[in-house]
Structure 1
């Protein structure tokens, strides 16, 4: 039976529900921040992923994403500062001079420390990224801030790849490369791991800038990169598949891309390539041409034009020697010495300051027929012998047995001076210098290779590692070695000395002056009239693929062209006209 509502009683109206978090922001962040610290300290085994994800979710849901984001960054930054102090700075090398092996081991410890901190950091950021997925999806884009992973990369750059760590790191990497070039054994994986860390950071604009600064902060970076390629193309790629070779070359190009002084690299690369081609040291001709193709893609045809010319000379020289041997077979009795010649086009190959050398008659008799043959085939050309680049295979009779020695041309000329001497006779340094006319610097290096290095086919009096002008030398008839064929390399530094570096820099500066003037003339010939600022900006843009020109240098070159009547100042004194 239905009942009617009673009159006079008003129904109760419930108050509206309060909107806002059903949680305490302070308590939630306090708990989550403590858990983040535990994750960074590798104590996450007893933590609940779902619980931490929920904490982060609630903070973002109730408009407290900024608290979560800034708090996360602060905790990560503090952890990186701690790791930098405890793991990396404590591993800084302490040995400034002394045993290279000890210094190499200290460098290795620093590189391993950085890689360890990087592995720890990336592992932590991956875990935090899982917990903070909702924040990355909802908060970061509207707030215009990087997501968790990218923020972690930026923090690593700011707190780890920064002075003084960056400076020590650069020095350690370059020193390790230099030690290996000097013949010491290093831990390549430590260097590789550290470089890969730096390359991993180039996904971020700030990281790219930092890596570019890192690469170019050392004056010898172009030389070291060229030496790295040289080492791989001579021996490092042996036994690798085409795909593995391509991977190595691609990684090299990635680093090369960050060089600002590509013209400096070109000069070193040309020198190293020339030595590989002359000495037939390349592991793979395909790898050489593959590297050349990659450089052409990066820098254009003009960058590789002379390098390709060097390869062409090698091919033409092989054809020339085939024709010469056919000519000898028809017209001249067999010579006592077999000759192989590479004819190098002077505009393609690096210029060499050739030391004088008095060749013995038997060598003069060998090269004269080739000169006559070649000049008869190519009228108007002139041959200049680069004896410092040659090598000789010579059979030397010692008491125990005969050995086939491969030595430089200079070394062979020196050895021939001892051919008719008795075992107890000797020649002074001055005797050898007067007989050969070899410059003192080259002569000391050659004698050091023959009397002070691994294979001592000459004796130095008094014994020692360095050659002095007061020394004397005799033939070491008691020399023995297990191998029949021996290569005696010239003692030299793989990296340029201070004097050589200055000479290289002077040549590069001169080339840059010519390139800058040529660029200015091309632009003005096309535009006819330009303001000073527009001209400087255009020159800078066009030359940036080779080097970063200084505006003051551009201004000087403009003034030089005005003096030589290529350009003139316009009436406003702020622009220039081209003079045909």
Structure 2
């Protein structure tokens, strides 16, 4: 310890006796208290600290001991109160005198100089008050506690008394002088907002002192923000509002909305940092709310009006900023969601218009791949915007889905039909799953199928897709042109996951039939080899397909089986009946295919043909030339279909048609390929396919609606007409969008069939008939 400090401490080196009165005791304590509060940095020895503590202890306990020896029963309590009160009063008087020179000094200071002086004195004062609090432990523990227990809430422990005195004798007088202290803090913060570098540590010390000066009389240890709020937070929030209102209006008058978004984002970040660095954490909520109101809500309309431009020019960073800002205010995003939905819908419609042309194109001429690619590109681009710019927020995701559902189901390619989109998407899936598909070789087929499922999710008429997909799948399986069984199984699994087991049940049964047919063919061949080895020149395979699971229609005309295959045909009929006596085989010659070997040319060729082409060519085993009428008579094929069959054969130059309706076998046929594929689709069959699918869909829908009504009525027993219609729509809408007239027609049908009945005396109410 320095000599100066030692000399100073000597002033209070001798402890008064235990019998000393208040004046003698305070005379000893006073220099020590003053040293602690004004010159503690000079040091205080432990012996001197102990002496001061002992003086307080001796004075209080000696008085109590005297009181306890008195014959008066209340003397002990009276004596303790008197001594505690006087000592407490002496401390209070000391604090009052202590602040006189401080107030004089502060009166001559302004702004940052005032803040520095205030912070310096606050640090010195609170450190000293902590020492005093420990010196007067005995007073705190007994006298102060008893006073407070008896309801005297204006009596504090010594440290809290010191804070209360600072507030009353120093802080409030400075504040009453035009909010001098808080005003200095606010001006310093404004300088920082204007770009100046300020002493943030100084601001934090002053501001946190405001927090410490709040006292809750019922519980002094509990944080109380009354002083902080009244003298700093409230004017700070008001100053913040005025500052940013003026700044934002001026900035927007000279800059673009995009620039303003950056400015607002930066200002909000600064205010968050300000709370972190030197404000009380509870200020954050009100401060940020006020900033959001001034910087965002008051300019929300302007931001929302510029949203479309940001979308049009793919300004992702600005979209992210606008989203982040408007998400902070109530209902700030809803106008953006609506505009985004409209934007996506228009993008989808425009993309399809480019494919079909302004005037529209014939539906049959639309290339499924181009159609699907156009829809997917719109979805991909806007899904990325939702993910990247809008953080995958549920409202924007819903807007994207709603817009996609609209343009996928109703666009320039679909016209007024809701069935065209599912048809084109199903046809695209068919091309992906064929061996001839280049995507299967060049790209990830699984990824391509996943993209199909993106569009499938938006289809309203999923039953139309199902029927077209089922039809196309049956052709792939029959003709053996699937890219792979794994890809087929994967797609069915995706459909099952999306729509349930019932949706894919028939598709899975097709694969079962294919497996059973292979086993049946192998067993039949084995029987042929055992019993008819001399006739094994025909290589025969059969597919027996369940009528309920395969969307295949038998030919609408007769067909005369060529003699070349009659024996094999009859043997299989007999063999199958021996295995399944109760079943009937219906032969689908319109789906059958054959390979014929030529024996009349120098070069032997293998001709891949349809059953109808085979029937025609087999006639030339016995004739070199035949008329159209002779071929009709020999094959029983109708003239319109036979004409198309002959057209394909003459185009391939297997037959020549030099005279009208006369067809000759061409002895000069030549081909670069040994295997010649003649089996091309017949136009009549291609056109009929879409028509047949839609007829099947309409028929199936009637039964689905009826079954749904019966199921609902069985569960509800009675139901009003309107409620029943709404419930039917709700239950079926995942499969297709039922039309109200169709539902009403189904209700009438069920009334006629007595599945339900009208309730007597109740208008439009039905009851289930058990």
TM-score norm. by structure 1 comes to 0.75
Q: Is the 8 A contact 2:348 2:404 kept in 1?
A: no
Q: Is the 8 A contact 1:222 1:261 kept in 2?
A: yes
Q: 1:559 to 1:53 in 2, by over 3 A?
A: closer
Q: Is the 8 A contact 1:450 1:456 kept in 2?
A: yes
Q: Deviations over 1:117-138 (max 9, x none)?
A: xxxx33x1x23146x3xx6545
Q: Deviations over 1:186-208 (max 9, x none)?
A: 79977764553366578532221
Q: Is the 8 A contact 1:449 1:491 kept in 2?
A: no
Match of 1:365 among 560, 567, 586: 567
Q: Deviations over 1:526-551 (max 9, x none)?
A: 33222223322222222223212222
1:55-454 counterparts in 2 under 5 A? 63-66=294-297, 68-78=299-309, 121-122=313-314, 124=315, 126-129=316-319, 132=321, 136-137=323-324, 139-146=326-333, 153-154=340-341, 156-157=343-344, 160-161=346-347, 165=350, 168-169=353-354, 171=356, 193-194=377-378, 196-197=380-381, 200=384, 204-217=397-410, 218=414, 219-235=419-435, 236=437, 238-239=440-441, 244-335=444-535, 336-354=537-555, 355-397=557-599, 399=601, 401-422=603-624, 426-452=625-651
Partner of 1:539: 728
Q: Which runs of 5+ in 2 are unaligned?
A: 1-100, 109-173, 188-237, 271-289, 387-395
Q: Is the 8 A contact 2:341 2:402 kept in 1?
A: no
Secondary structure in structure 1 of the residue aligned to 2:664: strand
1:153 and 1:176 map into 2 onto residues whose CA distance is 31
Q: Deviations over 1:266-289 (max 9, x none)?
A: 211111111111111111111111
Q: 1:275 to 1:494 in 2, by over 3 A?
A: farther
Partner of 1:579: 769
Q: CA shift at 1:486, angstroms?
A: 2.1
Partner of 2:255: 32
Q: CA shift at 1:419, angstroms?
A: 3.1
1:541 and 1:155 map into 2 onto residues whose CA distance is 25
Secondary structure in structure 1 of the residue aligned to 2:329: helix
Secondary structure in structure 2 of the residue aligned to 1:433: helix
Q: CA shift at 1:54, angstroms?
A: 5.1
Q: Deviations over 1:400-431 (max 9, x none)?
A: 52211111111111112233444xxx433333
Q: Deviations over 1:163-221 (max 9, x none)?
A: 6x366157369979976869xx9799777645533665785322211211111122311
Q: 1:198 to 1:540 in 2, by over 3 A?
A: same
Secondary structure in structure 1 of the residue aligned to 2:620: coil
Q: 1:136 to 1:225 in 2, by over 3 A?
A: closer
Structure with more contact order per residue of length (Cα contacts < 8 Å, sep ≥ 6):
1
Q: 1:300 to 1:495 in 2, by over 3 A?
A: farther
Secondary structure in structure 2 of the residue aligned to 1:490: coil
Q: Deviations over 1:267-315 (max 9, x none)?
A: 1111111111111111111111121122122222222222222111111
Q: Is the 8 A contact 1:388 1:409 kept in 2?
A: yes
1:476 and 1:75 map into 2 onto residues whose CA distance is 73
1:473 has 2:696 as partner = no
Q: 1:500 to 1:167 in 2, by over 3 A?
A: same
Q: What is the Cα-based RMSD across aligned positions, in Å?
A: 4.0
2:448 and 2:542 map into 1 onto residues whose CA distance is 33
Match of 1:513 among 653, 677, 702: 702
Match of 2:655 among 453, 458, 476: 458
Q: 1:230 to 1:294 in 2, by over 3 A?
A: same
1:188 and 1:508 map into 2 onto residues whose CA distance is 22
Q: Is the 8 A contact 2:434 2:476 kept in 1?
A: yes
1:536 and 1:154 map into 2 onto residues whose CA distance is 29
- Which piece of structure 1 moves more, 16-25 or 308-317? 16-25
Q: CA shift at 1:461, angstroms?
A: 3.8
Number of equivalent positions: 503
1:483 has 2:673 as partner = yes
2:523 and 2:551 map into 1 onto residues whose CA distance is 27
1:534 and 1:291 map into 2 onto residues whose CA distance is 37
Q: 1:419 to 1:331 in 2, by over 3 A?
A: closer
Q: Deviations over 1:40-86 (max 9, x none)?
A: xxxxxxxxx98796589899668142465433443453576xx7xxx
1:415 and 1:307 map into 2 onto residues whose CA distance is 35
1:194 and 1:76 map into 2 onto residues whose CA distance is 18
Higher share of residues assigned helix: 2
2:587 and 2:647 map into 1 onto residues whose CA distance is 24
1:494 and 1:250 map into 2 onto residues whose CA distance is 33
2:459 and 2:490 map into 1 onto residues whose CA distance is 20
1:433 and 1:511 map into 2 onto residues whose CA distance is 36
1:557 has 2:746 as partner = yes
Secondary structure in structure 2 of the residue aligned to 1:561: helix
